Structure 1
Amino acid sequence: MSLKILTVIGARPQFIKAATISRKVALTRNISEHIIHTGQHYDENMSGIFFDELDIPTPDVNLNIGSGLHGEQTAKMLIGIEQEIIKQKPSCVLVYGDTNSTLAGTLAATKLNTPVCHVEAGLRSFNRNMPEEMNRILTDHASDTLFAPTKNAVNQLRKEGVLSNNIILSGDVMFDAALYYSSKAEASSTIMESNHLTKNNYILATVHRAENTDNLERLTRIMSELKALAQHIKVVMPIHPRTLKFLSDCNISAQNILLLEPTGYLDMIKLERNSKLIITDSGGVQKEAFFHKKPCITLRTETEWVELVEAGHNVLFPPISDNTGSLTESVQSLTSNSQHSFSNSLYGDGHSAQLILSEINQRYG
């Protein structure tokens, strides 16, 4: 009996995660994959380039949903995904992460009694004001097989009453991707040369979360701190469209900060690997900093990747008014830590995709 996987993706981090498993599917005789791209990320620089450089198969269906309010966006996705499940009759639906695409794929499959497999299960920020947090919780409790990237994630699912037989400690497919694409990025990306950057002589910053970009006080604080930091070392910031819009609308200066167009994955890896330190509000970039052995400062009050904070690889910097410290001080403290070690195997051995695919085949093939 052959296994047919229906994969739902819609945002850049999901493209990267899906690439690792899609590559294994292509090498497996009895497994086929039908890929639905919801169109949640619809800008060519934010989406299309990823399929080309990651060698992801062209999606079988693009729903072209685009942006919108959470309810509107999720509802449109539900309609399109449901139709594809009915048409394709997959053995299971595979979803990734914590976006509206994740939740829509899960709900559509569950209503049609199709098994759901969730990659990156068990993560919690414990901040229910984040839309991603609710997506994670709802997806995990509706899924049939939960692939947890860390021991912390496994323990969290058990605390919430998820059956142990449904939980698999898989490691992190993002680590697979970092290992696979690093050499390709170093060989093919010219982003360092084109922007006159040299190794370990700049700090890489990314800001995109709505809690930061949509809040004038927080965004003003972040940019003020980055500008102060840029007086001591070059700060490079690939600019997310949402962030750029708010900077412009609110007339917030980015003086002395090198703003770049949205980067592809290979360019981003190149920037991460050659930076001195990374500052971000992205969950994925926090881990990539660790994969590439770079200290990280996270512009949030909490993180799903608590093990990075516990191990000293990551420091939280909440960009709020009652935070009396400065980002420059945090950078100096983190970079002066001579005991910093990245030897921990927190996210598996780099073979998570194969483990996940084998488990899915065993359960649903």
Structure 2
Amino acid sequence: MFRVITVLGARPQFIKSAPLSKAFLYEEKIKEIIIHTGQHYDYEMSEIFFEELKLPKPDYYLSIGSHSHGKQTGLMLKSIEDVLIKEKPDMVLVYGDTNSTLAGALAAAKLNISVAHIEAGLRSYNRKMPEEINRVLTDRLSSLLFCPTLNSVENVKKEGIKDGVFHVGDVMYDALLMFIDIAESRSKILEKQNLKSKEYVLATIHRAENTDDPKRLKKIMDIFSYLPFKVVFPIHPRTKKEIKRASILIANNIKII
């Protein structure tokens, strides 16, 4: 039996993992074990996805929560390593570019366990972004790099990585095909929020350079207030905390959900 440990922690990763996790269920020779780091600690950003989208429940929940990048990654690294030592997987599978991604890849590499990276090769070429650091380091630690685009394949080749690189397409597109019927049949969000199609815009603010700078955050919220239509704003827990801390007023045309 080939044992695969999948490391998840952030909201998009739960959705991205669904197509592969479902495929694993049909492979008798593959056993998947899921670790949820708890990087996204809010209920609406975590458990609800497993319930509504019928995703496989995690075998391990690490409850790491929100910390500085270094502390969060370090706590994840220790906890993931403990699971890897216990479970002895043949491979560790990681997605994207979060702290959970890097911690999973690093824990595996330190134990000489092969790493497979979904969404490998993506680059912003902005090393001030924490995600960019995570992407580059995870690709370096991986034995299998599953790239979503031909451009991402070229990115890793330019960095000298030529073995184990595969162009496989975008897993988010696979997830869209998997869940589109559920979304269309079950979603009542417009009705629930009293919204009409094409009469609003959707906005999100969660990047640290935007949320952690009070002046920048206020400027973004001011720009929203000037728009001639409703702004639907699904608010991230950290963003909500920073808006409150900076005493930023919410304009009448901004609908927080």
Structure 1 position 259, deviation (Å): 2.9
Matched AA of 1:259: K
Structure 1 partner of 2:173: 175
- 1:1-365 map, 5 Å: 2-163=1-162, 165-229=163-227, 232-261=228-257
Structure 1 position 222, deviation (Å): 1.1
Query: In 2, distance between residues paired with 1:258 and 1:183?
Result: 29
Structure 1 position 256, deviation (Å): 2.2
Moved more, 79-88 or 9-18: 79-88
Per-residue deviation, residues 244-301 of structure 1 (Å, max 9, x unmatched): 111111121221234333xxxxxxxxxxxxxxxxxxxxxxxxxxxxxxxxxxxxxxxx
Query: In 1, distance between residues paired with 2:220 and 2:256?
Result: 17
Query: In 2, distance between residues paired with 1:212 and 1:242?
Result: 11
Counterpart secondary structure, 1:223: helix
Please say if residues 229 and 253 of structure 2, whose CA atoms lie closer than 8 Å, have aligned partners that are also in contact: no
Structure 1 position 217, deviation (Å): 2.4
Please say if residues 239 and 259 of structure 1, whose CA atoms lie closer than 8 Å, have aligned partners that are also in contact: no
Counterpart secondary structure, 1:132: helix
Identity in percent: 54
Matched AA of 1:103: L
Please say if residues 225 and 254 of structure 2, whose CA atoms lie closer than 8 Å, have aligned partners that are also in contact: no
Counterpart secondary structure, 2:82: helix
Unaligned runs of 5+ in 2: none
Query: In 1, distance between residues paired with 2:231 and 2:81?
Result: 44
Per-residue deviation, residues 293-352 of structure 1 (Å, max 9, x unmatched): xxxxxxxxxxxxxxxxxxxxxxxxxxxxxxxxxxxxxxxxxxxxxxxxxxxxxxxxxxxx
RMSD value over aligned CA atoms?
1.2
Query: In 2, distance between residues paired with 1:207 and 1:71?
Result: 22
Matched AA of 1:157: V
Query: In 1, distance between residues paired with 2:232 and 2:214?
Result: 21
Query: In 1, distance between residues paired with 2:46 and 2:253?
Result: 25
Q: Could you list the runs of 4 or more consecutive aligned residues of structure 1 that deviate by over 4 angstroms after TM superposition? A: none
Structure 1 position 8, deviation (Å): 0.5
Counterpart secondary structure, 2:185: helix
TM-score normalised by the chain length of structure 2:
0.96
Please say if residues 121 and 155 of structure 2, whose CA atoms lie closer than 8 Å, have aligned partners that are also in contact: yes
Counterpart secondary structure, 1:117: strand
Which structure's relative contact order is higher, taking Cα pairs within 8 Å and 6+ residues apart?
1
Aligned length: 257
Counterpart secondary structure, 2:100: helix
Per-residue deviation, residues 72-107 of structure 1 (Å, max 9, x unmatched): 211111111111111111110000111111111111
